[in-house]
Structure 1
Amino acid sequence: MKQQRMQIPPGLTDEQVIESRLRHGTNELQSKEESGLFSAIRQTATEPMFLLLVAAGAVYFMLGEISEGIFMAAAIVLVSAISVYQDSRSRNALQALKKLNQPSARVIRNGRELQIPTADIVPGDLMVVEEGEQVPADARILRAVDLSLNESILTGEAFAVRKNGGDVLYQGTAVTSGMAWCEVTATGNGTELGKIGKSMEQIKVEKSPLQKQIGRFVTKMAVAGAGVFLLVWGINFYHSGNVLDSLLKGLTLAMSILPEEIPVAFTTFMAIGAWRLMQMGIIVKQTQTVETLGSASVICTDKTGTITENRMELAALYAHAGRQVYDAGNWHQASAQEVITVAMWASETQPFDPMETALHKAYGQTAPTDLRPAFHMVHEYPLGGKPPMMTHVFANAAGERIIAAKGAPEAILACCGLREEEAAGVRAQTEALAGKGYRVLGVARSTFEGAAYPAEQQSLPFVFIGLVAFYDPPKHNIGSVFASFDEAGIRTKIITGDNTATTVSIARQAGFKGGERAITGDEIANMQAGELEEAVKEVNIFTRMFPAAKLRIINALKADRQVVAMTGDGVNDGPALKAAHIGIAMGHKGTEIAKKAASLVLTDDDLSKMVDAIAMGRKIYANLKKAIQYIVSIHIPIILTVTLPLLLGWIYPNIFTPVHVIFLELIMGPTCSIVYENEPMEQNTMQQPPRPATVTFLNWRELSTSILQGLMITAGTLCMYQYAVHSGLDEDLTRTLVFVTLMSANVLLTLVNRSFFYSVLHTFRYHNRLLRFVLLVSVLLTAATIYIPPFAAFFQFRQPAVQQLLLATGAGVLSVIWMEAWKWVRRASDRPRK
C-alpha cells in the first residue's frame, strides 16, 4: 500500500489551486438568497406590530397631533432597530455554527496530504476518500481499493455499488468500504447534487413542534385582537362619531393584545442557545435540537471511545498452537509473533482504528523482518456479517499471498472447522479475557489459488491462529457522567458491537448501574415488537449489536414515548443516529456519515458534554417559558386597563393611548428577549425529571398561573384608577397613577418570575447584569415621563404627590408579591431532590 501511495500524482500546486478557484468558485451550493440585513428589514416591515405602528402614526398625523405622530415614527424606527438587532444576533450565531460545522476533506497538493474544508476543494484537486466519509465533490477515480458507495442520495437505491478506476464519484454519496484516490471534476453547483439542489430552493424547512405551538398561540391572540379591535372601534365611533379618533383607540387595544414578543423570544433563545452550546464544544446542526435537549429521557451510548479512552492497548494474546496465553510485552515467542503477524495483515495498511494501530505497532516491535513494504493488497472483504469479521488478501511481486482474517471470536470460529473440544477451549479463553474487560478478536489465516475469489469470505478455508485482547480503560470522568444522568432522571443504555463479558466488565469498572443483564443483537432481531418494548425498559446493556438491531432499540424506546439521544461514530450508526430524537456524533473519531446523520457533534468526544448540553437545553426551555409567562402576565393588565373603562362606561374611558402602549412594548421586548435569555440555570434544574415529550410549552397550570398574575395586576391598576376617581383627581393624574402602578408591577413581575419555585430573595443572588440594566432603564424612563415637563406633557401625565406615588407603587407591588406566598407553599410541599 505504501508503494501505491508513492505512485499517486503530487496534486495541484498553490498557484494552480488559486487559478482553479478563480475560474470555478468555491465548492459550495450557491442559492438565490437576499442579504441578511435586507431580509431582516423586509421581515420586520411585514410584522403586525410594525403595521399597527404605521397605522397609528398615520392617524396621529391626519388628526394634526404632530408630536404624537413623530413619537410613533420614532417608535417605528426603534422597534425596527430592536428587531433587526435581534435577528442579527440570531443570524450571526447561526453563521458561526455553520462555519464550525463545515466538514473537511483530504487532498494531495504539492505532493503532501492536507486536511482542508470541503468548500476549498477545486476542480483538478487530487482527493482521497475512504470508508465512513461522504464524497465532497464530483470526481474521477484514479485508483481504488475495494471501493463501494451508497448512492441513494442520487439514485434512491439503498444497496452499495462497487467502483473501480475510471469510474465517477458523485458529491454527497457515502463510502461504505475501501478507499480511493480521485481527481475532482466538478464542485459546487456544477456537481450532479448541485444541479438537483437548484430545483430544491423553494422547499421550506418544516417548523418544529414548539414553533407550531407558539405560532398557533400567537395566531389565536391576533384573531382575538382583531375581533376586540373592531368592537372597540365600533363603540368609540358610536359615542363620538369620529372615525379617525375611534380608529386610534381601536389600534391602541390591538397593539396591547398582539404578543409579538413571543416568536421573537423563541428565535432569539434557540439561536443564542445554539451559539452558547458551540462555545462549550457542542455543535448543534439544527437550532430546533436545542428545544429537544431538555426533554431527553434516555441516552444510548456506545462503549469504545465514549465510555472508554479509545486508546486500545494490546494487553494479552492467546496462541492456539501452544494453547498459551501471553501477557503484555511477552511477545517474542514464535507462536505469539505468529498471532500478531496474522492480526496485523488482517488490519488496514494505513490504520485509523486504535486496535489496528496497536497491532501494527506490536508487529513492528516483534517481527524479525518487516514484510509490509514488499506486499500490497489485492483483494479485501470489508467488515461484515453477524457477528462481524474482515479478511485481507496481500501479494508480493513473486506472487506469494498472505490471507488473514480477524473479527468476533465466534465469527472466526464458525469458519475454521475446529473440533468441538478445541472450540470450547477457545470460547473459555475468550470468556476469561473478556471478563477482565478486554476486547477480544479472533485471528485466522487462509490459502487460496487463482483470481476468482469466493463471494463470501466465510467460504475461504481458514485455520484458527489465536486471539488478541485489547484493553481500553474507562474514561476517568465517566462514573460522574453516569451519576449526573441518573440524578437528572435520564436512563443510560450501552449499545455496542463488543461481546457481553467485555462490556459488562467495563460497565462495572465505569460505575454503570443496572448492568446485571445484557441482550445481544441476535436476540433483539428475534423479538416481537411488544416483547422488545418491555425488554428495552428493563435492560440497559445491549451487545453484539448491528445496524438493524440498533434501529429497533431506538424505535422501541420512541414507541414508549421516550425522548432518545444516541451517540455514534461509524457508518453503521447512521440509521440509528438519524432515527433518534437527538443523534450525537463524535467530533474526533466520528465518520462524516455519522456527523451527517447526527443532530449535534461533540467536538472532543467527551460524553460529559452531554450533561452540559442537557442542562443548557433545560435552562433555555425553562427561561423561554419564563419569558412567555411574563409576556402573558403583563399583556393581560394592559389589555384590560385599555378595554374595561370603555366597556363599563367609566369616567375616563381611554386612559391609555397608543403612545403609552408602545412605551410599554418597548420595555417589555428587551425584558423577555434579553433579560430572561441571560438568566442562569436554577440550582434544582438537573435534579428534576425530564420534561415529557407530550407536554406543551405552557400547560394549563402554568398558563393559569400567568393569567392569575395578570388579573391580579389588573386588579391593582383598576383599583388605583377607582381610588383616583373617587379622590376627585383629574384624568392626567389618574393616568399617571395607573401607569406607575403598572410599571412598578412590571418591575416586580420581572424579578418574581425569575423562578416559580425559589423566592425573589434567593434569585437576587443569580448573576444577570442585563437584568439590572434593563430594570434601571425602565425606572429612569418612567421617572422621566413624570418629572421632566416636556415628557410629562407629551404622555399627558401630571406629577403626583409623594404619598400618591408611594400608594401607586405599593399597589403595583401588592398585585405581584402574593406570588411569593404561592412559591413558599410550593417549596414546603414539593421540595427538589437533593
Structure 2
Amino acid sequence: MSYNIPDHLKGLNDSEVAASRRQYGYNKIDGVHTSTVLELLMNILKEPMLILLFAISAIYLIVGNYGEALFMLLAIVVVSAISLYQDTRSKKALEALEKLNEPLSKVIRNAQVIEIPTHEIAVGDLCITEEGKTINADGEIMHSNDFSVNEASLTGESLSVFKSRESEDNKVYSGTLAVSGLAVFKVEQIGAATRLGKIGVSLSGIKEEASPLQLQIRSFVKAMAIVGIAIFGMVCAVSYYHTQDLINSLLNGLTLAMSVLPEEIPVAFTTFMALGAWKLMRDGIIVKRSSIVETLGSTTVICTDKTGTITENTMHLKHLYDYRSDKILDEKDFSDVALSTLIDYAMWSSEPAPFDPMEKTLHKVYEQTQSNDQRKAFKMIHEYPLEGKPPMMTHLFENAEQQRIIAAKGAPEAILNVSTLSENEKNKIRELIKNFGQQGFRVLGVASTSFEGNDFPLKQQDFRFDFLGLVVFYDPPKQNIQEVFRHIYDAGIKVKVITGDNTDTTRSIAAQAGILNTTDAVEGKDIMEYSDAKLMEAAEDKVLFTRMFPDAKLAVVNALKKQGEVVAMLGDGVNDGPALKAAHIGVAMGSKGTEIAKAAAALVITNDDLDKLITGIASGRRIYANIKKAIQYIISIHIPIILTVSLPLFLGWVFPQIFTPVHVIFLELIMGPTCSIVYENEPMERNTMLKKPRKMTDTFLNWKELAVSIAQGLIITGGVLFAYQYTVQNGGNEEKTRAMVFTTLIFANILLSLANRSFHYSLFESFKNRNRLFVVVNSLTFILLFAILYIAPFANFFHLTGLNAGELGTAIGIASVSVLWFEVYKWVKRVK
C-alpha cells in the first residue's frame, strides 16, 4: 500500500534501532504484576479447605495417629496440585489471550514501511498511524493528512482534535486514538516514560468487575460457609456432651466442616471461564475478558453493521454515472474519456493514503484509467473531514503553478444539498440513486468547485458545488451469510442491522442475506428526535436502522438494554466505537476492523466470519449449562456426605463416627476433578442452539432446579443410611457398616455424575456425547475403591473391611435405586 509519505522520511536503520533499544529498552509498561507459580501456590494454601486439612493433620499428630496425619498431608499435596494445575492452566490461557491482543504497529525503517509488534517500537522510530488505529508511543508529528486524534484516555475530552506538524500542539500520545487521516510521528517516549505510563494506566491493571453469575456463586459459597461454621459448632458440642473427648469432638466437627464447604464451586467457575476463553481463541475468537464467555450464552439480540460483517467489504466499483453526458457506464467502459473528470475528482476527494476500501478502489481505478498521474504534483493545502448528517468530505489541492483542485464526495443526499442543480434535476438524480439502492449498490456523489484566495469557508457546506456524478459500488453479501442468520434465528436471537448506508441499499442487501422483516426502516436523524418511549418501541420493533451515526447507534443499543435485552453489537469502524463499548458484548472484526473498534469491543473475530459469533454463543451456552450441572452435582453429593457425618451422631446411632476426615477427603478428591475438569469438558447437548436464550437476570439455580438437586441429595442420603441400618440389623460391626456406607456413597457418586450430564436427556443418550475424562476419573475411582476394600493395609487405614459379592451387589443396588429414579423423572418430563 502506498502512503504518499515524503521521501526524506527514511526512519532508523538496524544499528540505530539496536542502539536505541540498549539505551531505552522495549515499549512496555512494567509494574503490571503477574503471579509466579510460588505466589499461586501461596494463594492456594490460604484456601479454607487447605486450612481445615492442616488443622486436622495437626490434631492427628498431637494424638499420635501418624498414619492419618501423613494421609492428610498427602491430601494437602494432591489438593494443592489439582488447584495449581487448574490455576496455571487458567493463567496460561489468559496470557495467551493477552499476547494475541497485542496490536502490530507500522514504522518506517531503512526507508521501508514495515509492521512490528508494538512492544518493539524504539525511541527515534518513525511511526505511521492512520484512521482507526491506537497510537502506541509518544512523539512529534513529522507529516500528516487530515489527521485528527481523540485524547479522551488522557484528557477526558471526548471531541477529536486536528493536529499537524504546524499546529501549536504537534505531539501525539500513547493510548490515544487516530480518528481520521494519517500521521507520521517521530517516537520520543516509550513504555513507562510515556504520559500514559506515568499516569500508571494499564488495561491489565484495571480490576475486572464481577459478573452477575460470579456474585451469585460468591453469595452461595459464603452462605454454605456460614452453615458449615454453625454445624461445626453443633457437632463439636453434641460430640463433647456424649464423649467428654475434646480431640475427637474437634475431629468430628472438622470432618463435617469439610463436608459442608463447597470449595469446588469457585474453582470450577474460574476454570470454566478461562478454558472457555482459551478454546474460543483456538476457534479464532479473541475474548478480552474471560467472564464475557458467560454473557455470550445470554445474547438475545445481535446488532450488526452491514459493511464488512454482512458483506464482503470488497467495494467493487460496479457503475459510474456521469452527469454531464447523462450516461451510466459499467466497468468495461471506465476508460471512456467522458468519465475522466468524474474519476479524477472521485480520487482527489479521497484520502491521499486511503484507509477505506471504497477510497482504495477509487485510487486503483484512477491508476488504471488516467494516463497522466498527477498525485505527486499536487499537495493538499486544506481539508474538511467527513462530517454532517448525512456526511460528506472535501479536499483542496494545489500544485507548484497554483492550480487548484477542490473535490468533494459523500452521501448523495449531502452532495445534492450543496450542489447548484435545480430541484427537477435533483429529483432525477434521486430516482437514479433509489434504483441503484434497490439493487443493493452503495452510492456516493462526487462534486467539484473553485475558490480564489485562502480565506476558506468555515464549513464545506458553504461552497457551491458543481455536481459531477455518482460512483456506484457493489459489496456482495458473504457466501455463507444466509445460513449464519438462520442459525441465529433458530437460537431465538433477534437481529438488527445498524448501518450508515441508505435505506434502499440496506434493505436489498439484508434481504439477500436472509434477514427477516426488512420492510420498515428508520433513519438516524429520526432516532435522535424520538421520545424515550418511542425510541424504545422503535428499537424493539424495527430491524433496519439506516443512515446511522455514532450517537444514533449508541441510542439504539441503550434503548435495547433498557428493554432487558442482552445486546451483542458487531462493528469494524471508528463510528462503531461508542456502541461497541456500550453493548453487553462488543464484537469487532479482526482483519478489516479498526483498532478503535477492537479497543472498544469485548471480543474480536480474527477472520471477520460472522459464523464465529454463533460458535461463541454456543460456547457460552455450553459453559453456562455445564457450570449449572457441576454446581447441581456438588450440591446433590454434599448433602449425603453432610448428613451421613452428622445424623448418626445427632440421633445417637450405634456407630456415631461412621466417617472420619480421611473418608471425607477421599470423597473430596474424587468430587473436585469431576466438578471442575470433567464437567468443563462436557460437549454441548443436542438442541442447545434451538432454545431461546436464558434471561441474564436469572439466578444460576432457580428454586425448581435447587429443589431437584436437594431431592437427589436427600434420596441418596436415604439410600446410604438404609445401607447403614441394613448392615447393622444383619449383625455387621463398625468396619463392615462403614464399608457398606462408604461403598454405597462412592457408587452413588459415580452414577450421579453420569445422570447429571443432562437434566433432560437419558443417561444412555448422554453417552453419545463423548467425554473421555468421565471414563478416566470414574475408572480411577473404581480402582481406588477396590484397593481400599480388598488390600489389607488400605482397608486397615480406612478402618473398614472387604465386602463379599452379595454385599457389594447390595451396595450397588442401593446406589442405583438412590440415583437412577432421576432417569424416570427425566422420562416423565420428556413425555410431558
On whether the aligned pair clears a TM of 0.5, the verdict is yes
Q: Deviations over 1:750-779 (max 9, x none)?
A: 111111111011111111111100110011
- Would you say 1:388 and 2:391 are equivalent positions? yes
SS at match of 1:228: helix
Residues 671-820 of structure 1 mapped to structure 2, 5 A cutoff: 671-820=674-823
- Would you say 1:21 and 2:27 are equivalent positions? no
2:141 corresponding residue in structure 1: 141
Residues 281, 65 of structure 1: alpha-carbon distance in 2 compared, 3 angstrom cutoff: same
| Counterpart selection for 1:311 from 297, 309, 314 | 314
Which range moved further: 17-26 or 775-784?
17-26
* TM-score, normalisation: structure 2: 0.98
Which range moved further: 818-827 or 255-264?
818-827
Q: State how far apart, in whole Å, the 1-side matches of 2:729 and 2:392 are.
A: 90
SS at match of 1:453: coil
1:447 corresponding residue in structure 2: 450
Q: State how far apart, in whole Å, the 1-side matches of 2:699 and 2:365 are.
A: 57
1:282 corresponding residue in structure 2: 285
Contact 1:474 / 1:506 at 8 angstroms: preserved in 2? yes
2:121 corresponding residue in structure 1: 121
2:59 corresponding residue in structure 1: 59
Deviation at 1:323, TM superposition (A): 2.1
SS at match of 2:652: coil
- Would you say 1:623 and 2:630 are equivalent positions? no
Which range moved further: 809-818 or 190-199?
190-199
Q: State how far apart, in whole Å, the 2-side matches of 1:201 and 1:463 are.
A: 53
Of all paired residues, the percent bearing the same amino acid is: 54
Q: State how far apart, in whole Å, the 1-side matches of 2:394 and 2:41 are.
A: 61
Deviation at 1:90, TM superposition (A): 0.2
Residues 587-602 of structure 1 mapped to structure 2, 5 A cutoff: 587-602=590-605
2:554 corresponding residue in structure 1: 551
1:832 corresponding residue in structure 2: none
Residues 799, 383 of structure 1: alpha-carbon distance in 2 compared, 3 angstrom cutoff: same
Deviation at 1:198, TM superposition (A): 6.6
Q: Which runs of 5+ in 2 are unaligned?
A: none
Residues 131-530 of structure 1 mapped to structure 2, 5 A cutoff: 131-165=131-165, 167-197=170-200, 204-530=207-533
1:82 corresponding residue in structure 2: 82
Which range moved further: 21-30 or 729-738?
21-30
Q: State how far apart, in whole Å, the 1-side matches of 2:555 and 2:205 are.
A: 34
Deviation at 1:331, TM superposition (A): 2.1
Q: Deviations over 1:85-142 (max 9, x none)?
A: 1000000100111111111211111211111111111211111111211110111111
Deviation at 1:146, TM superposition (A): 2.5
Which range moved further: 12-21 or 380-389?
12-21
Q: State how far apart, in whole Å, the 2-side matches of 1:550 and 1:4 are.
A: 34
Deviation at 1:226, TM superposition (A): 0.5
Residues 200, 3 of structure 1: alpha-carbon distance in 2 compared, 3 angstrom cutoff: closer
Matched AA of 1:693: M
Matched AA of 2:739: T
SS at match of 2:332: coil
Deviation at 1:368, TM superposition (A): 3.3
Matched AA of 1:332: S
Matched AA of 2:790: Y
Matched AA of 1:151: E
Matched AA of 2:38: F
Deviation at 1:213, TM superposition (A): 0.8
Deviation at 1:202, TM superposition (A): 7.8
Matched AA of 2:409: K
1:109 corresponding residue in structure 2: 109
Deviation at 1:174, TM superposition (A): 1.2
Contact 1:2 / 1:373 at 8 angstroms: preserved in 2? no
Q: Deviations over 1:588-632 (max 9, x none)?
A: 111111100000000011101111110111111111111111111
Contact 1:232 / 1:249 at 8 angstroms: preserved in 2? yes
Deviation at 1:411, TM superposition (A): 0.5
- Would you say 1:37 and 2:2 are equivalent positions? no
Deviation at 1:697, TM superposition (A): 1.1
Matched AA of 2:101: N
Runs of 4+ residues deviating >4 angstroms: 1-4, 198-203
Q: State how far apart, in whole Å, the 2-side matches of 1:145 and 1:312 are.
A: 23
Q: Deviations over 1:485-543 (max 9, x none)?
A: 00000011111100000011111112221111111111111111111111122111110
Deviation at 1:203, TM superposition (A): 5.8
Q: State how far apart, in whole Å, the 1-side matches of 2:55 and 2:410 are.
A: 74
Q: State how far apart, in whole Å, the 2-side matches of 1:4 and 1:289 are.
A: 41
Q: Deviations over 1:695-721 (max 9, x none)?
A: 111111111111111111111101111
Q: State how far apart, in whole Å, the 1-side matches of 2:544 and 2:266 are.
A: 42
SS at match of 2:329: strand
Deviation at 1:34, TM superposition (A): 5.5
Q: State how far apart, in whole Å, the 2-side matches of 1:441 and 1:587 are.
A: 26
Deviation at 1:2, TM superposition (A): 7.1
Q: State how far apart, in whole Å, the 2-side matches of 1:601 and 1:155 are.
A: 27
* TM-score, normalisation: structure 1: 0.98
Deviation at 1:200, TM superposition (A): 9.9
Q: Deviations over 1:650-697 (max 9, x none)?
A: 111110000000000000011011111111111110001001111111
Contact 2:4 / 2:353 at 8 angstroms: preserved in 1? no
Q: State how far apart, in whole Å, the 1-side matches of 2:106 and 2:203 are.
A: 28
Q: Deviations over 1:196-234 (max 9, x none)?
A: 117999863321211111111000000110010011111
Contact 2:281 / 2:287 at 8 angstroms: preserved in 1? yes
Residues 232, 3 of structure 1: alpha-carbon distance in 2 compared, 3 angstrom cutoff: closer
Contact 1:316 / 1:328 at 8 angstroms: preserved in 2? yes
Q: State how far apart, in whole Å, the 2-side matches of 1:503 and 1:102 are.
A: 34
